[in-house]
C-alpha cells in the first residue's frame, strides 16, 4: 500500500467502530443509540480541553480593553504608505503576542476542542459509508435506527428529514451563542470558522447516512448543555465597570431630547 492509498483516519475509524460495536454488541443498544453513546464518549474525552479553552476565553474577555487599546494605537490611517501599514501591523501583532505571553494565554485554546472533533466527524462518516460496517449492521439483526430513524446507514427520507431541521436549528443556536461569547475577543478566523463550516456542510449532509446527522445533533445538544452549565459555574466577567466601557460611555453623546408637539388651536 502506497502513502496515497493509505487512509490517515483509519486508526480513528477503528476506535470509533470499536466503541459503537461495544455499545451495540456488549451493552445491547441499538445502532442509533450506540452512535449517541459514541458522541458522548468523544465529548467527555475532549471536555478537559474544552474547559481549558473556556477559561482562556474568559481571561481574554478581561483583557479585551487592553487588546482594543493596542488595536487603536497601531491602527493604520488612510494616508499611510504601504510600508507604514506593514510596520504598524507588525507592531500590533508583536504587542498582542507580548500581552498573551505575559498573561499566559493561548488565543487558539478555544478552537482546539472543535478542531479535535473534526477527525472524529469524518471518521464516523467514512465508517457509516463503509461496506464492511454496512454489512455488519444488516447481518446483526439488531435495531438499525433510533426513534423515528429507520436506519443509520441510509440517507434520511420522509419523516427522517426532520433531522436536517433539528440539525440546522441546533447549529444556528450554538453558533449564535458562541458568536455572542467571543464578540469582543475572537479574531476573524476564530470567529467565522464556527459560523461558516457548519452552515456550509448542513445542506450537503442530507445526502449522507442518517447516523451522521444523529452524531452531529448529539454533539450540538451536548455543547448547548455544556454552555448552560459553564455559564452557571464560570460566568462571563462583568465588563460594565471596565475602563474601556466607561470611556466609551463618556464619549457617546446623549440622545437629543424629544421634540415638543405643538398644540393645535
Nearest to 125 by CA among 13, 41, 36: 13
- Asked if the structure places residue 173 within a domain, the reply is yes
- Asked if the structure places residue 261 within a domain, the reply is no
Is 3 a residue whose pLDDT tops 60? Answer: no
Quick one: pLDDT at residue 16? 92
Q: What would the pLDDT profile of 50-93 be if each residue is shown by its tens digit?
A: 887 777 777 877 888 888 888 888 888 888 788 888 888 888 88
Domain range for 114 is 10-63+105-235
- Asked if the structure places residue 71 within a domain, the reply is no
- Say how many domains are in the chain: 1
- Asked if the structure places residue 5 within a domain, the reply is no
- Asked if the structure places residue 181 within a domain, the reply is yes
Provide the whole-model pTM: 0.69
Amino acid at each position: 500500500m502506497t502513502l496515497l492509498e493509505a487512509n490517515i483516519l483509519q486508526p480513528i475509524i477503528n476506535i470509533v467502530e470499536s466503541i459503537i460495536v461495544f455499545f451495540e454488541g456488549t451493552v445491547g443498544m441499538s445502532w442509533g443509540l450506540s452512535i449517541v453513546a459514541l458522541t458522548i464518549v468523544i465529548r467527555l474525552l475532549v471536555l478537559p480541553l474544552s474547559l481549558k479553552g473556556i477559561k482562556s476565553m474568559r481571561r481574554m474577555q478581561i483583557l479585551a480593553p487592553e487588546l482594543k487599546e493596542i488595536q487603536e494605537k497601531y491602527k493604520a490611517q488612510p494616508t499611510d504608505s504601504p510600508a507604514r501599514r506593514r510596520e504598524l501591523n507588525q507592531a500590533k501583532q508583536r504587542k498582542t503576542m507580548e500581552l498573551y505571553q505575559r498573561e499566559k494565554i493561548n488565543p487558539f485554546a478555544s478552537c482546539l476542542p472543535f478542531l479535535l472533533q473534526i477527525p472524529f466527524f469524518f471518521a464516523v462518516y467514512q465508517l457509516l459509508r463503509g461496506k464492511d460496517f454496512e454489512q455488519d449492521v444488516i447481518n446483526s439483526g439488531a435495531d438499525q435506527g433510533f426513534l423515528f430513524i429507520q436506519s443509520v446507514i441510509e440517507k434520511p427520507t420522509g419523516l427522517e428529514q426532520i433531522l436536517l431541521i433539528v440539525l440546522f436549528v441546533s447549529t444556528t443556536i450554538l453558533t449564535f451563542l458562541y458568536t455572542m461569547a467571543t464578540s469582543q475577543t475572537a479574531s476573524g478566523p476564530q470567529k467565522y470558522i464556527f459560523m461558516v463550516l457548519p452552515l456550509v456542510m448542513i445542506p450537503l449532509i442530507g445526502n449522507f447516512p442518517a447516523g451522521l446527522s444523529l452524531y452531529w445533533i448529539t454533539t450540538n445538544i451536548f455543547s448547548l448543555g455544556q454552555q448552560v452549565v459553564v455559564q452557571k459555574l464560570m460566568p462571563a466577567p462583568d465588563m460594565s465597570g471596565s475602563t474601556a466601557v466607561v470611556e466609551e460611555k463618556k464619549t457617546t453623546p446623549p440622545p437629543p431630547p424629544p421634540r415638543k408637539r405643538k398644540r393645535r388651536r
